[in-house]
């Protein structure tokens, strides 16, 4: 069950998704997202990629669903898991893109500096 909102920006009575950073912190969950990036997968298919119990994989999926990184669709008895790229896109827009321009500019200036011919000063006898 999703946690109810807390903190100054919480809306009482509205569920708050889990922190995507915490969900991304685990290497197994990142591997699950990598598999889902390729295509949608059933829970059984995902279980076949890991050396752990189905219960353990489902616990990882529950964390990803709570963080809104995975959306589950039921088709009869099957659970089809889909990657939800929106939370990841929000992370990129807020935390990565602002630094890209600055870093790229610095790298271009460094490249320009390094590509200039170096003039050696002659030593005086």
pTM above 0.75, yes or no: no
Task: Let me know if residue 27 belongs to a domain.
Answer: yes
For 30, 33, 40, 41, 117, the CA distances from 60, given in Å and listed in that order, are 10, 11, 16, 14, 55
DSSP H/E element including 45: helix 43-47
Cβ partners under 8 Å of residue 36, min gap 6: 70, 81, 82, 83
The predicted structure's pLDDT at residue 121: 67
Task: Let me know if residue 118 belongs to a domain.
Answer: no
Number of residues assigned to the chain: 125
Please identify which residue in the block is written with the tokens 């990629």.
49
User: What does DSSP assign to residue 124?
Assistant: P
The predicted structure's pLDDT at residue 67: 95
Cβ partners under 8 Å of residue 37, min gap 6: 83
Sheet holding 41-42, edge to edge: 41-42, 78-83, 70-75
28: domain CATH number is 1.10.10.10
- Apex CA 110: angle with CA 107 and CA 116, to 5°? 140
| Domain encompassing residue 61 | 19-100
Per the structure, how many domains does the chain have? 1
Task: Let me know if residue 68 belongs to a domain.
Answer: yes
Task: Let me know if residue 1 belongs to a domain.
Answer: no
Whether the CA torsion 86, 75, 35, 26 is positive or negative: it is positive
- pLDDT of the chain, 125 residues: tens digit per residue: 333 334 444 445 444 567 899 999 999 999 999 999 999 999 999 999 999 999 999 999 999 999 999 999 999 999 999 999 999 999 888 888 877 777 777 888 888 888 887 776 666 66
The predicted structure's pLDDT at residue 7: 42
């Amino acid at each position: 069950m999703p946690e109810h909102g807390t903190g100054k920006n919480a809306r009482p009575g509205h569920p708050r998704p889990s922190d995507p950073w915490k969900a991304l912190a685990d290497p197994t969950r990142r591997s699950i997202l990598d598999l889902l990036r390729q295509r949608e997968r059933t829970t059984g298919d995902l279980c076949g990629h890991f050396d752990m119990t189905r219960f353990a994989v489902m616990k990882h999926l529950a964390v990803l669903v709570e963080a809104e990184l995975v959306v589950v669709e039921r088709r009869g008895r099957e659970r089809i898991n889909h990657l939800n790229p929106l939370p990841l896109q929000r992370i990129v827009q807020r935390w990565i893109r602002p630094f890209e321009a600055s870093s790229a500019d610095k790298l271009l200036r460094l490249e320009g500096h390094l590509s200039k011919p170096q003039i050696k000063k002659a030593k005086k006898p």
